[in-house]
Amino acid sequence: MTAVERAEGISAERAEEEAVEVIHRELTAFARRARALAGRMHPQLSFVAYTLLSHLEERDGCRATDLAAHYALDKSTVSRQVAALERCGLVRREVDPGDHRGQVLDLTEKGTAVLAEVTESRRAAFDARLADWPRADLMAFAAFLERYNGHDPQQETRRDGGAGEG
């Protein structure tokens, strides 16, 4: 029985409470599945490591403190993850051209190749799971996830010091 079917015949307030419980349960299942999938795709790449590599690729490199701030992670957690990625030869440190005291993290050639391989596997897994979804449902799901996660392209630009800053 779906959340909508369960909501029929109960108060609006109770229906909202149940909907929030379903959202929580389903997001938890989604996160578990994502972690398990990441582990199966590459033995050295945890879900967090994959996420950090993706961010570095998206941003064309950044500081470890930027990673910690963006993902609301403790600096020590990011430091451990980055050290592991460096040991695997997936990430390198370079002097920050804007502040020679700091370091910027960037993907190595190997890191780019591993990320591409894992991304391809991840896309195939999502394609298989969503194969029978109508296009309208896919578009709505994507929009709801962006809305839930507070995706705001203007905010991204401001955070990265782009034209929207101010």
- Let me know: does 56 contact 107? Beta carbons within 8 Å: yes
Predicted confidence at residue 161, as pLDDT, reads 39
Q: What percent of the chain has pLDDT over 70?
A: 81
Predicted confidence at residue 97, as pLDDT, reads 85
Q: What is the pLDDT of residues 80-98, one digit of tens each?
A: 999 999 999 999 999 888 8
What is the pLDDT averaged over residues 68-81? 91
User: What is the chain's mean pLDDT, rounded?
Assistant: 83
Q: What is the pLDDT of residues 133-160, one digit of tens each?
A: 999 999 999 999 999 988 655 454 433 4
Which letter does DSSP use for residue 46 in this model?
-
- Let me know: does 115 contact 53? Beta carbons within 8 Å: yes
Residue 38, helix vs strand vs coil: helix
What is the pLDDT averaged over residues 73-86? 92
Beta carbons within 10 angstroms of residue 147's beta carbon: 10
Residue listed under structure tokens 């600096």 = 75
What is the pLDDT averaged over residues 58-85? 92
Categorize the per-residue pLDDT at 106 as very low, low, confident or very high, splitting at 50, 70 and 90: very high
Neighbouring-strand partners of residue 17: none
The single-letter code of the amino acid at 164 is G
- Let me know: does 60 contact 96? Beta carbons within 8 Å: no
Predicted confidence at residue 160, as pLDDT, reads 43
Question: CB burial class (10 A; 0-12, 13-18, 19+) of residue 124?
Answer: exposed
Residue 129, helix vs strand vs coil: helix
The single-letter code of the amino acid at 26 is E
Q: What is the pLDDT of residues 19-61, one digit of tens each?
A: 899 999 998 998 888 777 766 667 667 778 888 999 999 999 9
